[in-house]
Each structure stands twice: as C-alpha cells, then as structure tokens.
Amino acid sequence: MYNFYKLKNGLRVVTEYIEHVNSISVGVMVQNGSRNEDLSLNGISHFIEHMFFKGTEKRTSKDIVQQIENVGGQINAYTSKEATCYYIKNLSTHLNLSIEILADMIINSKFDDEEIEREQGVVIEEINMSEDSPEDVLDNNQAKAIFGDNSLSYPILGTIENIKSFNSKKIKSFVKSHYNPLTSVISVCGKFDSKELIKILEEYFGDWEVDKNYFPKYESPILLMESKYTNKQIEQLHINLALKGLPYAHEKAYSLVLLNNIFGGGASSRLFQKVREELGLCYTIYSYGQPYLGVGINNIYTGVSKQSAEKALDVINKELKAFAKEGISKELLEINKEKIKANYILGLESTSSRMFSNAKNMLLQNKIKTQEEVINKINNINSDDINYVLDTCFKPGIISSAYVGQDIDYEKLNHIIEPNIKAYDSSSLEGTSRV
C-alpha cells in the first residue's frame, strides 16, 4: 500500500507498506547530480556523497557505519547524473535508528578540512580505477560525443584537478544551495507503523531548513553527430553506438524497452543471435536506453577484436536498418510484453529496489507509478506505439559513436556506420567545434 505526504518544511515522503517482510529500506534522494554542476565544480556532487559519511557533530565516520552494521543493517549511497541517494536497509525494529542516522548525515555533517584532504586521495584513486576500465572510459566518451559541452556529458566522478580544489567552504556552499527539502524525497518501504513513522520523520527531518527556493533547471541538449576515441593498450576494441532515445517518463517508454529487448536485450535478441551466435564476432553485445529529463539516447554496446571490428559494425548497421524497416510481428509483440512484465516484477522483489523506484518516481515526476499502472501500460502497447518508436529512435540510425582500443582507425570505422559522423581522438582533442 502506497502513501504520500509532506512534512511541514515541504519535504516529500513516499511510503510503501509490505506486511510479509521484517525489513525496512529508507532512502533520502536529492535531485542533484553531475548534471547540476558547472565545469569548474564537476565531480563535487559525488565528492559530497563521500563526505556525508565522514562525520557529524555527534558521530565519527566509523560511528556512522558501525552503528548500522552492528545491528545487521547496510548503509550506502550513490550519485548519478540527476540524483544522489543515501539509503539504509535494516530490520524493521531499527527504523528509528536508520532515520536518525540519515538525518544526522544530511543535516549535521561537518565537512572537516582534514577529512576532505583524506577523502580527496580516495576519490582520486576511484577516478584512476575508472580510467583503467575500458567500459567506464567508453561511457564517458559517448556522453562527450553526443552531448558536447552540455553538463550531461560531465563524468560523475569529475576530474582529478577539480577534486584537489575542493575545500570545506566550496562544499558547504554547494550543499547549502543544492541540498533542499523541496527538491528531495524520503522513501520508505517495508514493515512499519505509519503513525510512528510520521512522528520519527518530523522529529529528525523537520528541522531541515530551506535556504532558498532552488529548483534545478536543465538546458535541453542537442544530440551531436560526433565520435570520440581513446587509444588504450588493451586487447579488445570496445564500441558504443548511440541512437536517438526517449526522455525519462515518456509515454512510449515501455515500447522502447520492448523493442530494445527484441533487438539487443538478451541471448535470444536479434543482435546477440546474429553477431555472436551466428558469426562468432563477439562475446557480449546488447542495446539499452539512457533516459534523462527532457532527453534520451539509445545505445548499442559490444567488445570485439580489432580484426573483427569492420565486419561487426557492418553487420550491426545492417541489422539495425532491417529491424527499423521490418518492425515486429504481433506474436513477437505479445511474447515480449510478457518478458518485460516479468523483468519489471522480478526487479521489484526487494524492499530496497522498490524504495529506489518510488523515490525516483516521486523526485522526478512527483507521483508514484503503481505496479498495476505499469502492467496496464505494458499490456496496452500496440502497433502504433511500436511504429512511433521505430520511426523516432531506430530509423534515423546511428548518430554518434565512441571507441576505446589500441591503435584503431576509428574514422574508417565511422564510415561503415554513418559517413557524416565527425570523429576526434580524445587523447589530442578535448575541445573541438561542434556540428
């Protein structure tokens, strides 16, 4: 059973009561991520996520995690392009402790300079680790290629130079302006007493004050027809090909999920069967959507040998064009409705996954999508919806590309998929004119 209300300071609360569990998942989700940053502060949202664990007026960094882990709970956080979430999963008997610790972190963190300096080393090593990962480099390349100078292209981890520049004054100023009860949501899922929960939330979060009425405003980026390449001493060539997608919460979103499932969503998908099973050109290949507020892209990922790259790209491009032209049969439509309904339901089997889903829906749409509503939307997908997504997302073809590999002629590869994609080497051209 879902419930929604606001605290006196405007902080939204969404709850889902589940009788048959003995656990509780509590999350505080803030509409702030790397998309909210300017270039000089890129990485500060993720760095602040780390710093909220580094001590408050009443707790050390060890106290924060130890008090949760000592009762068998789990505490963690993540930062994305558009949101940051701090969350605890615990036994329902420790609801008060879980909420009190989250409130203490959000409202009373000290941001001590000594802790900041220590954590700079940790995050710099996280960046170094990410730069050693071809997949992470590829994701950043693709974002830069298709979003250009828009903040959606900024890496969530930021840059080493920026991380070194952060201090207590910068962090406190950013938190004060961007962490706001009016642009945040508390999500609770599991077994709890509703009256007790409201009392606890008012007690611990009621004093979270609004400094000013800050509401995120995003520019709508133009999708660029560009390519980015990083020369890396690795065995495989990692490839990411971008198509037009749909923005977050688009009315045809589930139709795109369904088409991605058929085209590149699993071992029975068209891409997997053709490129891996029939031709043996790769180990992994799949397609997936990346929806954001106001804009979305669709991606095809694969990793191949340098020798197989041209053949693989040619086959992928031909399969994409054939899929966009042929569409899908009614039988395939019905089969994949069942598949994505099952994937959706299985993805909500835990209190934490339901807590995240409820928080994001409330944060970015200011409403909850019930399971029944989602199932009905999937059941109602028709041929007109499918044709709309095929025309919008698949028929325009590949509009952007990214590569990570050793000594690759990426311009030659681009001519296989789309001759007018502009290519540049990330190791030599970080600033380039846009088409």
User: Active-site residues: which are they?
Assistant: 49
Place of tokens 């299985």: 346
CA distance 31 to 85: 9
- CA 22 to each of CA 18, 72, 272: distance values in angstroms, whole numbers, following the listed order: 9, 13, 41
- CA 406 to each of CA 307, 341, 410: distance values in angstroms, whole numbers, following the listed order: 12, 41, 10
Angle ∠(412,415,421) on CA atoms, nearest 5: 110
Residues in CB range of 273: below 8 A, 6 or more apart: 267
CA distance 155 to 131: 11
The alpha carbon of residue 352 and the mean position of all alpha carbons in its chain are separated, in whole angstroms, by 16
User: Is residue 361 within 8 Å of 106, Cβ to Cβ?
Assistant: no
Helix 410-417 and helix 309-326: axis angle, to 10°?
A: 20
